Amino acid sequence: MVFPSYEFAFFFPVVLALSWALMPRQRLWKPFVLAASYVFYAAASPGYALLLAGVTLANQLGAVLVGRSSDERSRRRIMTATVVVDLGVLGLFKYYGFFAGEIGSFLDSLGLGMPLPLLTLALPIGLSFITFQAISYVVDVKRGILTPAATIDFALYLSFFPHVVAGPIVRAREFIPQLATPRDPRNVAVGAGVVLIATGLVKKVAIADYLAREAVDPVFGVPEAYAAPDVALAAYAYAAQIYCDFSGYTDIAIGVALLMGFVFPQNFNNPYRATSFRDFWRRWHMTLSRFLRDFLYVPLGGNRGGRLRTARNLMITMVLGGLWHGAAWGFVLWGALHGVCLVAEHVMRGRGVKAPPAWLRWALVFHLVVLGWILFRAESLDLAGTFIAQLAEPGAATLWTPATLAAVLVVIGFQLLPPDPIERLRERLTALPAPALGTALALVVALVGATVPSQGVPPFIYFQF
Amino acid sequence: MSEPYYPSSPEPPVPPAPKGRRTSARSALVVVFLAALLLVLFEGSSIRDAGEEMDPGLGRELTLAIGEPTGWVSDLLPFEDWTDDALAFLEDEDVGAAGAFQSAASGAGTGRGVPPVPPSSFDPGELGMEPPPLGELDTLLVTGDSLSMPLDLELARRLADTGDVEVERDPHVGTGISKTGLVDWGRLSTEQTAEHEADAVVVFIGANEGFELPAPGGGQVECCGPEWAAEYAYRVRRMMNTYRRGGRARVYWLTLPAPRAEDRQEVARAVNAAIEVAAQPYRAHVRVVDMEALFTPGGRYRDAMTVDGRRQIVREPDGIHLNARGSGLAAAAVLAAVRRDFGG
């Protein structure tokens, strides 16, 4: 089930009303919201719900065993085994086809045949997010940051419908304490939630999908058919599209959770405002950044082993972060590009190189990020190469329309504005009375719905990850 | 072995709530239900329309269960017309009513006696004759449902190298010839033909077929018996006739490779049989490009096949669509057929 759909429009009001009605009776509320979350997740395929239940039970077993064990080596072994199970599930569904093909091709080129069966496995929606959250739980229990939660609390944490499909990656220690006591029905951030839902719908349906149709998909599909002006427009448009698509989803997820009384961490903070790559990763997909930092970069040693070790750790983290997005060399290269830029910044900071002016740093970082998005979006490295080569091909601008240009400029330019006036406007909107908020939400849904083409709303980009 | 160092995380255990006014859960319910009520009043029939377009299943039943009463309420009120007028500037352009399946009679049983056999039923090549010379291939239209993606891209890329052929891509995801609410392919094919005047049209459609079709004597006919196949073939034939533009264009209609799911295989068999029958009067202008023989010989589904001496995955994980490699093979088969007609 996706947020901008009729199914969700029927599902959510009913679940919201029953959730608040049952909230004082936690013994009823928890099974109800758990069941609702499984219905939400199983709407794509009932088999996926079985897998989610399996991952839940395996990780809860691991966490309980870690919690019961007083021997450090045993705790470590149990944690490792549980993480291996999580990564095994993720690897099987997400990476099997890629690696079976790549390894098979390599062995075949040596005359050894293709020993691995070539199968296509459907990737259960949100599996990457689910496994990362499960890992965070077991590892935090091992680290002593968390005690093992009740099974129903952990099951709710993993499956809670606002974030089960595409994040944000909520840490167990952020969510499970919110289950300890009923949410206060007199203290709900209704205005903030509604503003986020409305903003997310506009970002996803009215902007991201429009840019995809009008500029991104045609050029990334056949870049050789377009000259530099259109190819450049498509590159910037994709930067705007992926931001609106993913942050739009996150806005809706956070807004829906707020209406239910739960708070999720922020996931985006004007990423195209960044003046360094370190800054970028503190603004883009922030919950993934901190997961990679806390569960990969720091355990690898972080910046505690000198420049070379730091560079190695940064590269490993970013390349694996790229691979997390999908089994393709484009994602690996995208991660490597970000890793190289982070390493370069680290080296320059260490040597005390004087930083260029802020506007130049912004321009450099922004255009390198856009270059990275080309690798990320192109269906193959060949097409990415063709796309980049076409940037030097003179020709006419056939896709430049006022609406497309305005959409790109607004999305990127809005992030460069001073944040305070925008924040004040948001706060004023959140203070509107409930009837005004309801009317405004209906108006936004109707306006956004009118822009949906006959093909319907395409899936969110991050659903595939 | 010492415990690795972990920094104290800068994030608080529970994220801070966003700034702004805090109100009651009752307000949240007022907002959501008021928005829902307004949408029912102003857009109620669109729920019913959306339900009618959904694939069979619980989602469709649920949407229709809500959409029919809300549509009834909406039909009684003038609000939806106001909304439609106000938001018309944001919507897709109407493709017009010409050629629509909805407004046409059923295909079966419309004639009496034995129908004549026109010369266009024969491909001159099959009779050992030189085909009449064709003009240049200037415009190639690739259309269909989600099956036509990424075939359209593969064809566009391969023809981009020549620089002479303009490839128009017009996929309509989630549509089908046997469902007309979302897109009426009879009407759409007429509109596409008028707009593009394509010299060659590649059609790959059938991922969402199997819906009931109007029966000749009234009522509906269910998939996938001869009655359904006959109605489906009639619709395909009308589209073929539209796309071939009286013989000025060539049509390349792809059959369906067998899908993984058995219930879908039944639909695919009926669709493929209908395509073969539909093309018979137009063998001079319509080429049926056999994807079943290429990807699933004998109708047996497979994920991978040998390409260039190596086993390679050619299907998407859904067991319906072709992946990029599979689409590349399909594009090669289509281009071979195109080149037989247009040369090059």
Q: What angle do CA B261, B181, B141 make, to 5 degrees?
A: 75
pLDDT of A457 reads: 62
Going by C-alpha positions, the residue among A363, A451, A462 that lies closest to residue A412 is: A363
pLDDT of B318 reads: 85
By the 8 A CB rule, do A377 and A238 touch?
Answer: yes
Residue of A nearest to B164 (CA): A225
B139 touches chain A (CB under 8 A): no
Provide the token pair at A373: 């998005």
Instruction: Say which of B24, B91, B173 has its CB closest to residue A450.
Output: B91
Chain B hits for A264, Cβ within 8 Å: 15
Over its length of 465 residues, how does chain A's per-residue pLDDT go in tens digits? 778 778 888 899 999 999 999 999 989 999 999 999 999 998 877 888 999 999 999 999 999 999 999 888 999 999 999 999 999 988 888 777 777 777 777 777 777 666 666 666 666 778 888 999 999 999 999 988 888 999 999 999 999 999 887 778 998 888 998 998 888 888 889 999 999 999 999 998 889 999 998 899 889 988 888 899 999 999 999 999 999 999 999 999 999 999 999 999 999 999 999 999 999 999 999 999 999 999 999 999 888 888 889 999 999 999 999 988 887 889 999 999 999 999 999 988 888 888 889 899 999 999 999 999 999 999 889 889 999 999 998 888 888 999 999 999 999 999 998 888 888 888 888 888 999 999 999 888 888 877 776 556 666 666 655
How far is B334 from chain A, CA to nearest CA, in Å? 18
- Active-site amino acid positions of A: 325
Relative to beta strand B286-289, strand B304-307 is unpaired
How far is A30 from chain B, CA to nearest CA, in Å? 17
Interface of B with A in 79-98 (CB under 8 A): 83, 87, 90-92
pLDDT tens across B191-226, in order? 999 999 999 999 999 988 988 888 877 788 888 888
Residue contacts between A and B (CB atoms, under 8 Å): 223
pLDDT-above-70 percentage for chain B: 82
Residue of B nearest to A123 (CA): B317
Supply the pTM of this predicted model.
0.76
Angle between helix A26-42 and helix A151-159 axes, rounded to 10 deg? 40
Instruction: Say which of B28, B183, B311 has its CB closest to residue A188.
Output: B28
Interface of B with A in 178-197 (CB under 8 A): 182-183
pLDDT of B5 reads: 35
By the 8 A CB rule, do A166 and A249 touch?
Answer: yes
A303 touches chain B (CB under 8 A): no
Chain B hits for A173, Cβ within 8 Å: 13
Interface of A with B in 349-368 (CB under 8 A): none
pLDDT of B36 reads: 87
Query: What is residue B18's three-state secondary structure?
Result: coil
Residue of A nearest to B87 (CA): A450
Of the residues A2, A3, A5, A6, the best mutation for testing chain B's interface (the one with the most B CB atoms within 10 Å of its CB) is A6
How far is A364 from chain B, CA to nearest CA, in Å? 29
B126 touches chain A (CB under 8 A): no
Which residues have C-beta within 8 Å of that of residue A222, sequence separation ≥ 6? B153, B156, B157, B160, B167
Chain B hits for A47, Cβ within 8 Å: none
pLDDT of A430 reads: 87
pLDDT of B7 reads: 38
pLDDT of A465 reads: 58
Residue B137 CB: number of other CB atoms within 10 A? 22
ipTM entry: 0.75
Please answer yes or no on whether A441 and B173 come within 8 Å at the CB atom: no
Query: What is residue B257's three-state secondary structure?
Result: coil
By the 8 A CB rule, do A80 and A86 touch?
Answer: no
Residue type, A453: P
Q: Which residues pair with B201 in a beta bridge?
A: B141, B251
By the 8 A CB rule, do A35 and A22 touch?
Answer: no
Q: What angle do CA B28, B30, B34 make, to 5 degrees?
A: 125
pLDDT of B136 reads: 84
Provide the token pair at A171: 């840490």
A439 touches chain B (CB under 8 A): yes
By the 8 A CB rule, do B332 and B202 touch?
Answer: no
Provide the token pair at A251: 């806005």
Please answer yes or no on whether A263 and B17 come within 8 Å at the CB atom: yes
Q: How does DSSP classify residue B21?
A: -
Across A268-277, B64-73, B181-190, the highest mean pLDDT is recorded for A268-277
Instruction: Say which of A427, A435, A451 has its CB closest to residue B20.
Output: A427
Please answer yes or no on whether B27 and A434 come within 8 Å at the CB atom: yes
Of the residues A5, A23, A120, A452, the best mutation for testing chain B's interface (the one with the most B CB atoms within 10 Å of its CB) is A120
Please answer yes or no on whether B46 and A449 come within 8 Å at the CB atom: yes
Provide the token pair at A381: 């490295």
B65 touches chain A (CB under 8 A): no
Residue A424 CB: number of other CB atoms within 10 A? 11
Please answer yes or no on whether A173 and B13 come within 8 Å at the CB atom: yes
Chain A hits for B311, Cβ within 8 Å: 104, 114, 118
pLDDT tens across B253-309, in order? 999 999 998 888 999 999 999 999 999 888 889 999 999 999 998 888 988 888 877
* pLDDT band with cut points at 50, 70 and 90 for residue B97: low
A255 touches chain B (CB under 8 A): no
A178 touches chain B (CB under 8 A): yes
Instruction: Say which of A258, A298, A379 has its CB closest to residue B324.
Output: A379
Using left for φ > 0, alpha for ψ between -120 and 50, and beta otherwise, residue B96 falls in left
Establish whether the linkage from the previous residue to B150 is cis, with ω within 30° of 0. yes
pLDDT of B326 reads: 92
Please answer yes or no on whether B20 and A191 come within 8 Å at the CB atom: yes
Angle between helix A228-259 and helix A358-377 axes, rounded to 10 deg? 90
Angle between helix A358-377 and helix A329-350 axes, rounded to 10 deg? 160
Relative to beta strand B310-313, strand B304-307 is antiparallel
* pLDDT band with cut points at 50, 70 and 90 for residue B313: confident
